[in-house]
Structure 1
Amino acid sequence: MGREPRHSRIHPVLRHLAELLVLVMLAAAVVSYRFDLGERWFGWGPVDPATEPAAVLPPEGLRLPASRVAQRVAVAGEHVDVDPAAVSAAVAPLLQRRVLGPHYAVLVTDLGTGEEVYRAGARSVVPASTTKLLTSVAALESLGGTSRFTTSTRWQPQAGRLVLVGGGDPLLASGPSEDAGTYPRRADLRTLAKRSAQALRAEGVRRVRLGYDDSLFTGPAVNPTWEPGYLDDITSPISALWVDHAEDPDGFGFVADPAADAARVFAAALRQAGVQVRGPVARTPAPVDATTTDPPPTLASVRSATVGEIVERLLAVSDNQAADVLAHHVGLAESGQGSFEGGAAGVLGVVQRLGVPVDGDRLFDGSGLSRDNRLSPDTLAGVLRLVEEQDRPELRQVLTGLPVSGFTGSLALRFDEGPPAARGRVRAKTGTLTGVHGLAGVADDPSGGRMAFVVVADRVRPEKELEARDRVDRIAAALGACRCGVGSPS
């Protein structure tokens, strides 16, 4: 065999260089794809739909059919009328022996029609925490269930001051939750500190003075109609800026100044993030101008859970502080007054606007801690029917947030007495103060009868407290277990 012509042979070095070049090109392609280098350096690659949604083109040749109305997943069942005689037979025997004391109210209505099917007792009561039903409805209607509250920092470069600004987030935490199952997810000050530190470093800032602004809410931080002992272990002063529900770090009661405590926690988080905090931390008005300074007035921020999620939680666990914070927000939205007075007026005004009569009702807070509050059972029943209406899905989270008898929230450890058939068939908001025991909710009985009910006793003698609470539960359980639908077998 003859040898290859000299000019057709490739030098071994050149051959290895060519192979190496191919490998380098393949590696570069993989790295560029993995880390989006082409898009970062040269603007190649797909448009980011989060920042430029209008620039995202549909796939070539895409043809979408005309939209059609989606079919119903399930057809609503026919309404079953509630039999007043059956309700009376279930409830009336439980009102004997005066266990509920000399002053109580019981009202049962047909949830579908709103018609009264049973009534006994007073026309107005101290509602205690059943007040939170009104606060929750007003918050969803006035603020919107998808709204969020923003806690932010604003930078004053001339003074070298960073200002922590409270946005009225009732669930703001000191740090991220270690429990992945926490619901709803909380915004936290540690994350805000890291974001603020990163923005400051980008401007070459390593040291700051720190101030805090809690001026979103006005008026007294403590409701003047509350019992003096409430601040010991029931609730805290209400503020637009706090952390961890203003609980005392020592584990006993609440801090006296929630905003100052939140600023202290934030200062520690800033230091941990690498920013020195000089001088005392003081209450400071935040800059509000919209000038295009560099950096802008708002340096960093974190956003709360949605109003709807907050509503679900506050109803499930009867969160007094979250309820009063939401009421303050309603006051701001309705009249510009983020205070106890503005919040109470705003809540009643929104409920009335939604078609529920509130004549004679009085509110002094959003939590129901005030013993000066007075509500008609008709108001509570009207709100319950409102959140059940199919054409008001924006209020539905009031219903989904209600504790379930024997299973969830503040009713998880109740309903252990009475008919077992009632467990899981009653959703209700508790209402408890010393001498006051109540439930307001909905019952779905086995026959298809659907009822709104209100049971509140507000002058219970001290020695009857536990018995009265049990009797309230038994009345609700009787409704959940009865076959009160018209035509149903007994």
Structure 2
Amino acid sequence: MGKGDASSHREEHPHRVRRAVAALLGVVLVAGGAVAWQTGQAEEWWHDLRGDAEAPADPAAVAPPPEVDVPDVVRPAALAPAAAGAGPLDRAAVAAALRPLAAKDLGPHVLAAVAPLTGTGFAYQATEGTPVAMPASTTKVVTSAVALFLLGPGKTFATRTVLEKSGTTPRLVLVGGGDPYLTRTPASADDGTSPTYQPQRADIRTLARSTAASLRASGVRVVRLGYDDTLFSGPAMNPRWEAGYFPEEVSPISPLWLDTGRTADGSTRVKDPSGTAALEFRRELARAGIKVAGATAHTAAAPTATAVAQVTSPTVAQIVQRLLEVSDNNAAEVLLRQIGVADGGGGTFAAGQAAVARVLKANGIDLGASVLYDGSGLSRSNRLAPQVLVDVLRWAASDEAPQLRPLLAGLPVAGYTGSLDDRMDHGPAAGRGRVRAKTGTLTGVTSLAGIAVDRKGRLMAFALMADRVRAPKATLARTAMDDAAAGLGACLC
């Protein structure tokens, strides 16, 4: 069985895309690294969007894992003149940096693409044989980009209650809005992981108490209870997933769940996330002083129902930050359903992927032989060309798509944060901290897709993929791919 990884418009001046900022891309300050390229502005924009009381964590302040030997962060008194972030890359230098991809541990099918982060053309392409490969969790780069584009970075999703006053006892309906991070209580928002950034989550206890207060103010003390999860439809488990993915890898996808469909103690996943959420809400409602009569019913809220209370999710930008950092399969699949809803096709896997293909095509990204069946990359039927991943990253860096900046800002920093916090510790030391990338891991598959800044300050996008790795070689294959990515940061390209 394969396993997935572990979670205001600003007009940009055209010339800014030609300059680099290491504050976004890495930890080590390099010559020209702190000049005002637009992804550096994205960090400020991202901070404003998050609304944090404190400044966002500087990756330089994040202690590397103890087993990683990295050079000290250098903070020069005065920065050197800005290095050009754009322009052609030296093809020979890029090829030399990627020599670790020739390692036999990676197996017979290794694909790669490297290109300047801005402009057109590729500095390196290796697509011998089949030009597409299983992308694993690098699929989340595509899902996140389309979600930011179609939904908007500031979009939130509301879990709400409405009241239908027909009959002698009014019916209260809990309506799922597709919040991927709704929790049972404020305390359960701590899921045991230690990401660099943890968004503020909504919880069902707060919703129940707000609902009870509103009902009492209206003179209502007794209700019948229903729950509505009709925002999403179709199968809750993707037919292209392996049967064993539940409960180990992913929950049945629902617009109404608690703690990503897990039990209260977090030990496993529940078969009916919506029903479980409704029962938990019923208990909290009773604790808040509202009596619930009869059984809890699965229903669809009437359009004429009166709004009672609601809680809202983190923004799409915050969700993307979280899911990229910890490679959150569940949040990625909820976002895919939200993409389908926003595109008018409905909350199904198929509608979400149709919307992804349409949005990419509309933005000049040719899928060619690539095909995706989910949003997380768990499906072993997914196929992506590395050039598609590179083009999505370049789209996120373009002047035409400022709303996609959280994608770049959310990529883990090699050797420091998220799914890369213990990676790239064997490659060139000069490359550590200069790479941000999304990992991809399935049985027999290892991949990386992200951005790097080399020692000249050149910005590049890359995608490295191998999908025929022999099981005994999995760790060595991952190290070889890490060394290649670190090489891009260390090179003079």
Is the structural similarity TM-score above 0.5? yes
Verify the 8 A CA contact 2:197 2:322 in the aligned structure 1. no
Q: Which of 246, 251, 254 is matched with 2:266 structurally? A: 251
Q: Which of 437, 445, 452 is matched with 1:436 structurally? A: 445
* SS of residue in 1 equivalent to 2:439: strand
Q: Which of 153, 164, 178 is matched with 2:174 structurally? A: 164
Residue 481 (structure 1) aligns with: 490
In 2, Cα distance between equivalents of 1:104 and 1:182: 33
Verify the 8 A CA contact 1:114 1:385 in the aligned structure 2. no
In 2, Cα distance between equivalents of 1:411 and 1:182: 14
* Amino acid across the alignment from 1:162: L
Residue 162 (structure 2) aligns with: 154
Counterparts in 2 of 1:261 and 1:178: CA distance versus 1, 3 Å: closer
Alignment of 1:369-388 (within 5 A): 369-388=378-397
* Amino acid across the alignment from 1:258: P
* Amino acid across the alignment from 1:165: V
In 2, Cα distance between equivalents of 1:114 and 1:325: 33
Verify the 8 A CA contact 1:134 1:348 in the aligned structure 2. no
Residue 175 (structure 1) aligns with: 185
1:301 paired with 2:316, answer no
Alignment of 1:68-467 (within 5 A): 75-76=36-37, 77=82, 78=84, 79-92=86-99, 94-121=100-127, 122-159=130-167, 160-177=170-187, 183-289=198-304, 297-467=306-476
| Structure ID, larger Rg | 1
* Amino acid across the alignment from 2:114: V
In 2, Cα distance between equivalents of 1:328 and 1:410: 24
Residue 29 (structure 2) aligns with: none
In 1, Cα distance between equivalents of 2:188 and 2:462: 39
Verify the 8 A CA contact 1:130 1:368 in the aligned structure 2. yes
Verify the 8 A CA contact 2:103 2:480 in the aligned structure 1. no
Q: What do residues 342-392 of structure 1 show as CA deviations (whole Å, max 9, x unaligned)? A: 011111211111111112221111111111111111110100111112342
Q: Relative contact order (alpha carbons < 8 A, sep ≥ 6): 1 or 2 greater?
A: 2
Unaligned runs of 5+ in 1: 1-68, 290-295, 485-490
Q: What do residues 12-38 of structure 1 show as CA deviations (whole Å, max 9, x unaligned)? A: xxxxxxxxxxxxxxxxxxxxxxxxxxx
Verify the 8 A CA contact 2:445 2:468 in the aligned structure 1. yes
* SS of residue in 2 equivalent to 1:300: strand
* SS of residue in 2 equivalent to 1:466: helix
In 2, Cα distance between equivalents of 1:358 and 1:88: 25
Unaligned runs of 5+ in 2: 1-12, 17-33, 38-81, 191-195
Residue 22 (structure 2) aligns with: none
Counterparts in 2 of 1:355 and 1:405: CA distance versus 1, 3 Å: same
In 1, Cα distance between equivalents of 2:116 and 2:449: 14
| 1:113 Cα deviation after fit | 2.5
Alignment of 1:16-55 (within 5 A): none
Alpha-carbon RMSD across the aligned residues, in angstroms, is 1.9
In 2, Cα distance between equivalents of 1:194 and 1:251: 23
| 1:250 Cα deviation after fit | 4.3
Verify the 8 A CA contact 1:231 1:253 in the aligned structure 2. no
Verify the 8 A CA contact 2:263 2:270 in the aligned structure 1. yes
In 2, Cα distance between equivalents of 1:152 and 1:137: 27
Verify the 8 A CA contact 1:137 1:351 in the aligned structure 2. no
TM normalised by structure 1 equals 0.80
